[in-house]
Chains A and B, each alone.
Chain A
Amino acid sequence: MKILVCIKQVPESNKVEVDPVTGVLKRDGAASKMNPYDLYALECAFRIREQVGGSVHVISMGPPQAKQVIREAFAMGADGGTLLSDRKFGGADVLATSYTIAQGIKACGTFDLIFCGRQTTDGDTAQVGPEISEWLDIPSVADVVKINKVEEDGITVSMDLPGEVEVAKVQFPCLLAVNKDIFQPRLPSYVKKMETKDREIRVVSLADMKDQDEMHYGLNGSPTQVQKIFPPAVNDKKEVWEETGDVLAEKLFDKIVEMKFA
């Protein structure tokens, strides 16, 4: 079984601030980590490899320093890794990101099973996985809460719906976006880290892609445009209501209805 896991490097903390003058995100660069949701995707891949054999490859799109998360995946047990990195990939929205990753996947070979995390802690859209599956023309299931069974021709998983869980069998090749807590992710091992410290990470740029049309990548290939970024309105409201019980009940009721809780 050839398994691929998509991992992203994200800022250490999502408590970012917006520069009030320039309106630009203040990212104090250095501190970054693997998107925590992707640890669950990796864990699923390792468990399936342990069960049926095969290999786990990881892929990440980002600047050169994103090699760090690929090294971390090696220390957890990944067999190989590819970084998609090119200045021309910069400024990508979900469409361009998923297209780049799909092209990058094709440049790496073919896979039976692709895992994504549910979402990231920065862009936070949870859209990249399903869009990759469209570009690759393979079925996908998101909100996977359980891997029920792995067979020769496909995988049976449980998908979380509001009041129920749907059990479905998906044929290979396919893409799964898994939820947090599906398994407890393993910690990176020092021994593995040492063993893999010289392992090559292949860097794929636009020149290595089958489609080399710049207009399909980065800012050029992004239909959405961020017009402005601003801090959210904080709830610094403070109202003191000193009234009789009847009036308080009435006011509380009106407020709860206004806020759509009742």
Chain B
Amino acid sequence: EYVDDTVKPSVNKEEWKGIVVYVDHVDGKIHPVTFELLGKAKELAAITGHPVYALFMGNHITEQSRELLHYGADKVFVYEEEELARFKIEPYTAVFEDFIGKIKPSSILVGATTVGRQLAPRVAARMKTGLTADCTILEMNEDTDLSQIRPAFGGNIMAHIKTPNHRPQMATVRYKIMNAPKRQEEAEGEIVSCAIAKEKLGSHVEVLDIVQKEKEQFIENADVLVVAGRGVKKPEDLANLQKLADLLGGQLACTRPVAEAGWLPAKCQIGLSGRTVRPKLIITCGVSGAVQFTAGMNHAENIFAINSDPKAPIFKTAHYCLVGDLYEILPQLIQKIEAKKGA
């Protein structure tokens, strides 16, 4: 049977304009990945001269939708309905479909959160279009095609993906991949209230309960670790390291001697006879860097080591080698981070 390879579904790209960011939220509390994506969308839109949109669906979200105007959205499309109070796959997909049908956006960016990772594929399948997962780099081409770069095989390779013959083109992006834009003093742009037929908002999912998570902490799951070694002189001094870990949204870990001294529980120990960790950021403080220790952490993405001895073996493993006294560096560092948070 003869199949003509050249017949590809083609789309009139002129008809599809704008980059839309899905506003990720739970109970109206906007997830910060949304602002990062608005910042990115603005950059991408500058290449093609397209507008930037935000799509916000929920209930009692008028106030929050105004906030989005401080982050560069030209228009915020708001669907406010009782049925949209909590994420449910069918009504959320129906709203997305309604929006795409009316506005015809060229590109759609969705945060790769619990909600975004189920909603985006459902919408992509409904629109019969492509969706690239967990993009780490996004670039706009002048012909409005989005170049989407993402890791696969557990981060062992990168793929450059395009959706050249379909619109909208869709991508998800994890939190803290793109830069957060500064909040502008002035609100710009407009809010557009949208309506959707009630019968489209039915669902076979019923939310019964919402349980706050108890924070059982495992150092293996932390994105950020601050590690105490024997360079920390007294158990009381751990307070500063703990404070730094808290400020960075991370956890405190340690070397074996620190755990053996009973300063921290054994489950905080990194290394051959402890836990293996692979955080995004690790800051070792007064750790010499014995192989039994580094075996448990040398795959961390960014390794900072503070040690007063320039010959300490930890500097062979670290990406950033800070030759200095942890007692001088940490208090000032903490002060600076606190000052920034306060600002």
Contacts and interface: CB of A to CB of B under 8 A. Distances in A.
Interface string B27-68: 000010000000000000000000000000000000000000
Interface string B313-340: 0010011111111001110110011001
A159 to B, nearest CB: 7
Contacts of B163: 223-225
Contact of A223 (B130, B281, B321): B130
Contacts of B117: 126-127, 130, 142-143
A143 B124 contact: no
Contacts of B340: 257, 262
Given A121-B153, A124-B133, A224-B163, A239 B206 contact: no
Contacts of A135: 125
Interface stretch (B154-162, B183-191, B230-238): B154-162
The 5 nearest A-B residue pairs measured at CB: A245-B328, A223-B130, A249-B332, A224-B130, A134-B125
B129 interface: yes
A160 interface: yes
Contacts of A130: 89, 117-119, 121-122, 125
Given A223-B163, A256-B281, A230 B158 contact: yes
Interface in B177-209: 179-180, 203-209
Interface residues of B, number: 87
Interface string B7-18: 001000000000
Contact of B118 (A123, A142, A257): A142
Nearest to B327: A245
A243 interface: yes
Interface of A: 14-18, 25, 93-95, 98-99, 121-131, 133-135, 138-143, 154, 156, 158-171, 174, 177, 214-215, 222-232, 235, 237-246, 248-253, 255-257, 259-262
B129 A223 contact: yes
A259 B281 contact: yes
Q: Is the interface of B mostly helix, strand, loop or mixed?
A: mixed
A110 to B, nearest CB: 16
A147 B130 CA distance: 31
Nearest to B164: A225
A262 B3 contact: no
Interface stretch (B100-108, B210-218, B264-272): B210-218
Contacts of B329: 245, 248-249, 252
Nearest to B178: A260
Contacts of B260: none
B243 interface: no
Most-contacted residue by chain A among B86, B176, B206 (CB, 10 A): B206
B248 A262 contact: yes
A161 B29 CA distance: 13
Contact of B332 (A160, A167, A246): A246
A224 B132 contact: yes
A229 B159 CA distance: 4
A152 to B, nearest CB: 15
Contacts of A95: 124-125, 128-131
B165 to A, nearest CB: 7
Given A143-B114, A223-B130, 4 more contacts: A18-B157, A223-B163, A241-B324, A259-B302
Nearest to A149: B208
Contact of B211 (A133, A154, A164): A164
